[in-house]
Amino acid sequence: MTNRKIARFLAENRPKTPCLVIDLDVVEQNYKRMRELLPLAQIFYAVKANPMPELVDRLRLLGSSFDTASRGEIDLCLGLGVGAERISFGNTIKKERDIAYAYERGVRLYAFDSEAELRKLAAAAPGARVFCRVLMECGGADWPLSRKFGCTPKMAGDLMVMAKELGLDAYGLSFHVGSQQKDLGQWDHAVGQVAGLFALLRERDVDLRMVNLGGGFPTRYRQAVKPVEAYAQAVMNAVTHHFGNSIPELLIEPGRSMVGNAGVIQSEVVLISDKGLEDGKRWIYLDIGKFSGLAETMDESIKYRIRTPRDGGRTGSVVLAGPTCDSADILYEKTDYQLPLDLAVGDKVEILATGAYTTTYSSVGFNGFAPLKAYCI
Ligand SMILES: *Cc1c(COP(=O)(O)O)cnc(C)c1O
């Protein structure tokens, strides 16, 4: 899978490496496909996946709404002309003064997962629509978002009752099944849990109206993933299975699946060495590493595909590492990566499907290496 537009940009402009190139037309295709496959769900793009203004603006023009986590992300969206009614303040960990700031600018949709956060919302965003995030196990996800976010279903029920008592609009429930989720069954389980809570809360005079299905749709890395159609089908089956004919308003917050496959990182081989060890593995050092955008290689969780100009010939096992003076800056050591035996210092390699969770994960300049430069085309 070669993206010709990106290949041409790299050939014509010869940008300094490392750099990320995003093809906005791919983002647009991803958005339209999601729109078509889940017509009942309002799409809130998870800005944290890639907050480049050109990208956010393209999604704004397409009609997307936005899931934001901070004052900075809210300002970014508002500054591009996104209406406040299309912004959700979806982080469950907010300062009260940032809630007040968002409220003043018209944002009326907020997440929470604890009593203390709910009280902040009641004080700083009176009458706003709120939704409680329910804890999920995140089994099957390569990048789980478990434990840190959400509360038990029982607590979520009690908090929604309290939300109503505090004068807030007890709007709905949310969950996130974990990022790069490969088990389609996770949505059925999650939707089943929230549907049960809808019923319980109706008995307590709280009529919820919305389910926020979170993110979790994958991008293809080394391993093939099921097509987005299969995910959309699993989600809609789960919703109709558990809600029957009274389907609530649906929100979905794709991040990775919206931008991951739209980006390619170009990097240069800085050094190839052999440590004289028995395993005979070559160490390949790139000019990008964990601190310059590839943080999701932590625990070798996300396994990117790598393309070299010498693909096709004989290959051998390698350890891949970044350029900094920190031994944590190893990308893949346990995972078997094979690269061409004639790969040479100075070769340009491409790291595929790197549009999500890269630029903003790069340090401001650890060891004097500049933050990851990125281009939208
Ligand atoms: C990060 C995040 C997302 C995006 O998740 P993906 O798996 O990248 O689609 C969605 N919702 C919330 C609340 C998030 O924190």
Ligand 1 atom at minimal distance to the Cα of residue 143: 7
- Structure confidence by residue, pLDDT tens digits, 63-107: 999 999 999 999 999 999 999 999 999 999 999 999 999 999 999
* Domain coverage including residue 368: 261-376
Full 3-state SS string of the chain? CCCHHHHHHHHHHCCCCCEEEECHHHHHHHHHHHHHHCCCEEEEEEHHHCCCHHHHHHHHHHCCEEEECCHHHHHHHHHCCCCHHHEEECCCCCCHHHHHHHHHCCCCEEEECCHHHHHHHHHHCCCCEEEEEECCCCCCEEECCCCCCCECHHHHHHHHHHHHHCCCEEEEEECCCCEEECCCHHHHHHHHHHHHHHHHHHHCCCCCCEEECCCCCCCCCCCCCCCHHHHHHHHHHHHHHHHCCCCCEEEECCCHHHHHHHEEEEEEEEEEEECCCCCCCEEEEECCCCCECCHHHHHHCCCCCEECCCCCCCEEEEEEECCCCCCCCEEEEEEEEEEECCCCCCCEEEEECCCCCCHHHECCCHHHCCCCEEEEC
Are 267 and 187 in the same domain? no
Ligand 1 atom at minimal distance to the Cα of residue 357: 8
Are 254 and 273 in the same domain? no
Nearest to 354 by CA among 236, 265, 277: 265
- CB under 6 Å to ligand 1: residues? 46, 48-49, 67, 90, 176, 179, 214-217, 253-257
Domain annotation covers residue 11: no
Are 250 and 282 in the same domain? no
Show which of 258, 290, 305 is a domain's final residue: 258
CATH number, domain of 227, equals 3.20.20.10
Ligand 1 atom at minimal distance to the Cα of residue 253: 10
> Atom 5 of ligand 1 has which residue's CA nearest to it?
215
What's the CA-to-centroid distance between 211 and ligand 1, angstroms? 15
Confidence of residue 140 (pLDDT cuts 50, 70, 90): confident
Are 110 and 128 in the same domain? yes
Domain annotation covers residue 13: no
The mean predicted confidence, pLDDT, of the chain is: 96
Domain annotation covers residue 7: no
Show which of 237, 258, 279 is a domain's final residue: 258
Active site residues: 325
Are 333 and 253 in the same domain? no
- Structure confidence by residue, pLDDT tens digits, 120-136: 999 999 999 999 999 98
Flag whether the pTM goes above 0.75: yes
- Structure confidence by residue, pLDDT tens digits, 17-58: 999 999 999 999 999 999 999 999 999 999 999 999 999 999
Domain annotation covers residue 19: no
Are 251 and 278 in the same domain? no
Confidence of residue 1 (pLDDT cuts 50, 70, 90): low
What's the CA-to-centroid distance between 87 and ligand 1, angstroms? 14
Structure tokens at 219: 């991008």
Bridge partners (DSSP) listed for residue 320: 284, 332
What's the CA-to-centroid distance between 253 and ligand 1, angstroms? 6
Are 219 and 328 in the same domain? no
